[in-house]
């Protein structure tokens, strides 16, 4: 299984309809076994380390990984498993929660823009501006006219970032409704996991079909050449981790990052005692 193949299989090509129902959340993408996936992932993470160092040294461009997915789809787990091991000096995670009063007093991209990764950094969004066309739509937090205008605004915003040196990778962690039930039950049964559960999760679950519809629109309308969506089968955590790790490696390798040369004459420097 070559990296290229795995990534290509989860890419939502710009212009293509997302059709989530036609994509199996339990797909293993040809990965033979959990053990093989872990070995693959570990190798990816070693490469990621070297690539991140170059990104940081180059200090010209940045990478933004956007993670979306229903409750329990594994956004936190993906970050923990794939991004632990990176140098935290060059990796910044932003978890977007319900907007504050001050944030609501601005356009929906204001708080997002503030969190955009600096040059040399890998930024990770745990949830993102896509919530503004997901929960905002499903929960009717804004009129339809407002959220409908956001897809084009998002595409323009992502284009701005991309044009200015931020390489954007977007992943939706695609789990089945059935798997979500298992994971919620697990959080209830295991006292060490109770803290992850909120009774609100049950209310959100009841809106599953409306969310799927909102996701399909967001994915279809906002998978662009400069910021493509990837639909990552996430019922198996090891598949999910392997895909995201590989996606990051592929992305960074395509940037052809180089350690910069000295901007001064090295031979002319004397270090005094």
Q: Which residues bind a second copy (CB under 8 A)?
A: 49, 57, 59, 76, 79-80, 83-89, 91-93, 95, 124, 126, 177, 181, 184-185, 188, 191-192, 194-195, 197, 199, 202, 205-206, 259-262, 264, 266, 269-273
Among residues 19, 130, 16, 17, the alpha carbon closest in space to that of 67 is found at 130
CB of 19 or CB of 80, closer to a second copy: 80
Least spacing, CB of residue 115 vs a second copy, in Å: 12
Least spacing, CB of residue 199 vs a second copy, in Å: 6
CB of 78 or CB of 223, closer to a second copy: 78
CB of 52 or CB of 166, closer to a second copy: 52
Please state, in angstroms and rounded to a whole number, the distance separating the CA atoms of residues 62 and 122.
6
Among residues 15, 27, 34, 6, the alpha carbon closest in space to that of 233 is found at 27
Least spacing, CB of residue 198 vs a second copy, in Å: 8
229-233 vs 11-12, strand pairing mode: antiparallel
Strand partners, 170: 66, 229
CB of 13 or CB of 139, closer to a second copy: 139
Least spacing, CB of residue 110 vs a second copy, in Å: 17
For the chain, helix, strand, coil in percent to 5 are 55, 15, 35
CB of 124 or CB of 218, closer to a second copy: 124
Question: Is 87:53 a contact under the CB 8 Å cutoff?
Answer: yes
CB of 56 or CB of 157, closer to a second copy: 56
CB of 93 or CB of 141, closer to a second copy: 93
Please state, in angstroms and rounded to a whole number, the distance separating the CA atoms of residues 47 and 39.
13
Please state, in angstroms and rounded to a whole number, the distance separating the CA atoms of residues 63 and 51.
11
End-to-end CA distance of the chain: 55
Least spacing, CB of residue 86 vs a second copy, in Å: 6
Least spacing, CB of residue 26 vs a second copy, in Å: 17
Question: Is 220:17 a contact under the CB 8 Å cutoff?
Answer: yes
30: left (phi over 0), alpha (psi -120 to 50) or beta: left
225: tokens are: 């050449």
Least spacing, CB of residue 94 vs a second copy, in Å: 9
Q: In the β-sheet with 91-95, what is the strand arrangement from edge to edge?
A: 11-12, 229-233, 166-174, 62-69, 122-126, 91-95
């Amino acid at each position: 299984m070559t990296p290229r193949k795995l990534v290509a299989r989860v890419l939502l090509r710009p212009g293509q309809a997302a059709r989530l129902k036609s994509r199996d959340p339990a797909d293993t993408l040809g990965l033979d076994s959990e053990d093989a996936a872990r070995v693959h992932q570990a190798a990816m993470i070693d490469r990621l380390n070297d690539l991140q160092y170059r990104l940081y040294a180059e200090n010209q461009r940045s990478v933004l990984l956007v993670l979306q997915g229903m409750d329990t789809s594994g956004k936190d787990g993906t970050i923990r498993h794939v991004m632990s091991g990176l140098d935290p000096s060059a990796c910044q995670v932003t978890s977007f929660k319900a907007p504050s009063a001050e944030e609501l007093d601005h356009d929906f991209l204001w708080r997002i823009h503030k969190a955009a990764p600096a040059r040399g950094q890998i930024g990770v969004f745990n949830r993102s501006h896509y919530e503004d066309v997901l929960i905002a739509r499903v929960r009717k937090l804004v009129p339809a006219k407002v959220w409908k205008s956001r897809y084009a605004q998002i595409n323009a915003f992502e284009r701005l970032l991309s044009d200015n040196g931020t390489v954007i990778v977007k992943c939706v962690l695609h789990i089945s409704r059935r798997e979500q039930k298992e994971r919620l039950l697990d959080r209830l049964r295991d006292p060490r996991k109770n803290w992850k559960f909120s009774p609100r999760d049950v209310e959100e679950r009841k809106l599953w079909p409306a969310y799927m519809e909102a996701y399909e629109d967001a994915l279809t309308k906002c998978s662009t050449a400069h910021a493509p969506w990837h639909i990552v089968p996430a019922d198996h955590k090891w598949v999910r981790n392997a895909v995201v790790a590989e996606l990051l490696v592929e992305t960074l390798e395509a940037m052809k990052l180089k350690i910069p040369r000295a901007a001064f004459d090295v031979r002319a420097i004397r270090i005094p005692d």
